[in-house]
Chain A
Amino acid sequence: MYTFSKNLKTFAIVLMVLGLLGIAYGFFSAPKDLDEVKQILTEQAHHGDGGHHVSADAHSDADFEHHAEHVYGQLKNKPWTALYVGSIFVMFVSLGILVFHGINYAASAGWSPVLFRVMEGLSAYLLPGSIIFFLILLASVLGGNHLFIWADDAVVAKDAIIQGKVGYLNVPFFIVRALIFLGGWNLYRVYMRKQSLALDATGDLVYHKKMFKASAGFLAFFIVTESMASWDWIMSIDTHWYSTLFGWYVFASFFVTAITTIAFVTLYLKNKGYLDFVNTSHIHDLAKFMFGLSIFWTYLWFSQFMLQWYSNIPEEVTYFIFRIQEYNLPFFGMLVLNFILPLLLLINTDFKRLTWIVVMAGVCIIIGHYIDFFLMIAPGTVGGSWFIGVEEIGSLMFFIGLFIFVGFNAISKAPLLAKNNPLIEESKHFHY
């Protein structure tokens, strides 16, 4: 049995507290009214940010007014965006862990059962994570902020394109869909955990069969709901833009992060001496998934980007033009973190067995995919007024702290070896 160490618990709580402070700072430092924004803008113009800002007299007053209103909207969105990106990212990572567990179960994988308890434990975050996320979602579409412009009747009234989408993008239907997706995923998680503990206690293979069937069913449910969730929660922020690949692209992004997280926690627990039955071959396999899925993510990123860049249809290419102009460094920098570094670090077999290499590559992957999520969401909500500062990092710290707290707490609730799984012996003897 694992006992949740005091140090780690304190660490998680500190993360959460600091994170909350950061989030609170974000909300307090956001401009209260238009005048404040005007003042900021004037100051920026006077301080002369190089040639970036055109001098104030080049603008007419009306232009300035309009610009200030625009920036005000973006800055009001900024703390919400920070909170939103952190919460959806970490929630999707825990969902990815659940999916990886489900795939391994449905595939009767022989290498991974020794890691099942780690995955089961970490996916416990899904429930609190989705409750918080759902509340943020609810606040967002009910007028708490301006993340989803389609939820604002005043915007919709003036926008013919959004009017055409109202059949799908309307608040009640949106909330019902979110409830179905989150509810379905959580039900599966709770069900699997229950069966897994029952299998441990009784050794009755009936529970194994039930989990196998539930996993197959869940994966079918997941592929549909995940696509729709990505359209709802991310794609609809850039309400005019659309891409058919989007759902699978989002999946690749959080799935690779999820496997990296599993690898991290496994390495941590093994270092603490709790996972004697886990050997370097298991780590090697996890690292291979990190490697392969990093390439897979890049493949989808490239497909989506290249196809819209190539055909250059104005309606859709603005999505990328804006990102390249306003988010240049994160947009291309994330390719280094998400593709080039994992590719180089993890291609060597021996390297994939070394803790520090896996950790290094993993850090790149986690940061890189956070930036990926940031890039999917922030350009549509804060536009050019973006900055990764206190509230963004605070939000990430809070959710990671909560993830550690909930995840490790759940891991400590059951033995780390799922002892009656029919494939567990194979997994214990696994050598590659």
Chain B
Amino acid sequence: MSSHYEAPIRKPLVIGEKTYHDITVDVARPVEGRANKLWWRVFAIALIAFLWGVGSMAYTVGTGIGTWGLNKTVGWAWDITNFVWWVGIGHAGTLISAVLLLFRQKWRMAINRSAEAMTIFSVVQAGLFPIIHMGRPWLGYWVLPLPNQFGSLWVNFNSPLLWDVFAISTYLSVSLVFWWTGLLPDFAMLRDRAITPFTKRVYSILSFGWSGRAKDWQRFEEVSLVLAGLATPLVLSVHTIVSFDFATSVIPGWHTTILPPYFVAGAIFSGFAMVTTLLIIMRKVSNLEAYITIQHIELMNIIVMITGSIVGVAYITELWVAWYSGVEYEQYAFLNRATGPYWWSYWLMMTCNVISPQVMWFKKIRTNIMASFIISLIVNVGMWFERFVIIVTSLHRDYLPSSWTMFQPTFVDAGIYIGTIGFFFVLFLLYSRSFPVIAQAEVKTILKSSGEYYKKERDSKENHQSLNH
């Protein structure tokens, strides 16, 4: 009994009189039912956006990078901004499934599945950019250290862009394995409930013959823990390596040692905001309000608030050190951010990232669904601008005033970005209709300790006992 004890002051994580069967039915319902008109409409919009993006990419590769708004000074802009933004969003998924697992946060169970899906789909979007921003993407495979007929011509391992290749590909593979392992018991559940031979066949293949024996569960738990232990340093290192792309350079505004942990904090910040955005919609349309409760939203908001504060401290640190360093280039880089031609993007970023999460200190706001939804969107806008500000404002004015210039995106830049958003939602919408969006096997493990009904039972029993004594 000792391990099942839970303090009475903890709030329930499953609302209502749910049984194990109810959880199964609730999770399986969206998969087993048919998509409604709304789903098809949204899906169609996402698909069109995606196809538009495919067209933009084809146009870029066919015609050349010159179709973008880049110039000789600003060689990185929307491409890498979007790349870092998507990778950053992907981080919350691993954070929720791995870091919160290590910290034994039971509330993660209702949200980890979707967060991991979000990770994978957004890393896929991120992965497009390193390829399409190449001048000769068909030679992209040259980044791999493969033996070849050029006298074994190798890559130089000193470039953070190469580390990116390893980081992102490892990250995607590990996340995928981690996600799929967790899905096995849930796919097995769908397999066992399937009525049509087709779905039976599909979920049989997906669930790898999971039969839920004690030994399997034991190993399953161990694997999850080991993968969580590996994914946590991985998630830190991936965004760290992404930050190295800038921090190892000698560009004022880029070369700063705080970038690694600050990019990671920013990634958690934007990733959690995206999870909040998605889950607020999902709990409504998939009728999962009993599992993704206000408390879940509140806790996600608190993480947004904490990481937002960390990011805020990092901004102030950068600003202060720029002044303290006495290096005029560094000082000018920050003066340029605040008062130069892109002042609006800097102040937009500051407002969205530093001020907006601070309202979460008020319980009224962080437990308000509408407010959380709006702020989560604001945060993602802010985090896009953070990357934009770091990349573009540091490049367009640096050491030599004779190379100062401006950056103007073209419709192709925008088209590709919109395309990745479309692609992301195509994947996410398909996922939400074919995958169990809540890790039902995990939620069932906390039902009796953290379910509202069981908590009430326990309270009344205790009261009863104390009356007798």
Contact = CB atoms under 8 A, between A and B. Distances in A.
Do A and B come from the same complex? yes
Interface of A: 108, 110, 161, 164-165, 168, 205, 220, 223-224, 227, 231, 242-248, 295, 299-300, 303-304, 306-308, 310-311, 313, 315, 422-423, 425-426, 429, 431
Contacts of B260: 245, 299-300, 303, 307
Contact of B324 (A168, A306, A307): A168
Given A168-B324, A311-B248, A303 B3 contact: no
Contacts of A304: 257
A161 B326 contact: yes
A244 B8 contact: no
26 contacts: A108-B10, A205-B9, A220-B309, A227-B313, A243-B258, A244-B258, A244-B318, A245-B257, A245-B258, A246-B257, A299-B233, A299-B260, A299-B261, A300-B261, A303-B240, A303-B257, A303-B260, A303-B261, A307-B247, A307-B257, A308-B257, A313-B250, A315-B327, A422-B7, A422-B8, A425-B5
Contact of A429 (B2, B249, B259, B325): B2
Contacts, number: 87
A228 B257 CA distance: 16
A429 B5 contact: yes
A307 B7 contact: no
A299 B236 contact: yes
Interface in B195-245: 233, 236-237, 240, 244
A353 B47 CA distance: 54
B317 A431 contact: no
B257 A422 contact: no
B453 to A, nearest CB: 20
Interface residues of B, number: 36
Contact of A165 (B236, B317, B324): B324
Contact of A295 (B233, B310, B324): B233
Contacts of A300: 260-261
A222 B318 CA distance: 18
Contacts of A295: 233
Given A227-B313, A242-B321, 9 more contacts: A110-B7, A165-B326, A244-B317, A299-B233, A300-B260, A307-B247, A307-B255, A307-B256, A311-B248
A223 B313 CA distance: 8
A306 B9 CA distance: 46
Nearest to B243: A303
Interface of B: 2-3, 5-10, 233, 236-237, 240, 244, 247-250, 255-261, 309-310, 313-314, 316-318, 321, 324-327
Contacts of A315: 327
A243 B327 CA distance: 13
B310 A223 contact: yes
A165 B255 CA distance: 20
Nearest to A310: B248
Given A223-B310, A244-B257, A423-B9, A429 B3 contact: yes
B256 A244 contact: yes
Contact of B325 (A242, A247, A306, A308): A242
B250 A224 contact: no
A194 to B, nearest CB: 22
Given A168-B324, A220-B309, A422 B258 contact: no
Q: Which of A108, A223, A306, A310 has the most CB of B within 10 A?
A: A310
Contacts of B325: 242
B309 to A, nearest CB: 6
A244 B321 contact: yes
Contact of B249 (A299, A311, A425): A311
B237 to A, nearest CB: 8
Contact of A307 (B9, B236, B244, B318): B244
A118 to B, nearest CB: 20
Contacts of B317: 227, 244, 247
B7 A164 contact: no
Given A244-B321, A307-B248, A426 B257 contact: no
The CB with the most chain A CB atoms within 10 A, among B9, B10, B324, B327, is that of B324
A167 B327 CA distance: 15
A195 to B, nearest CB: 16
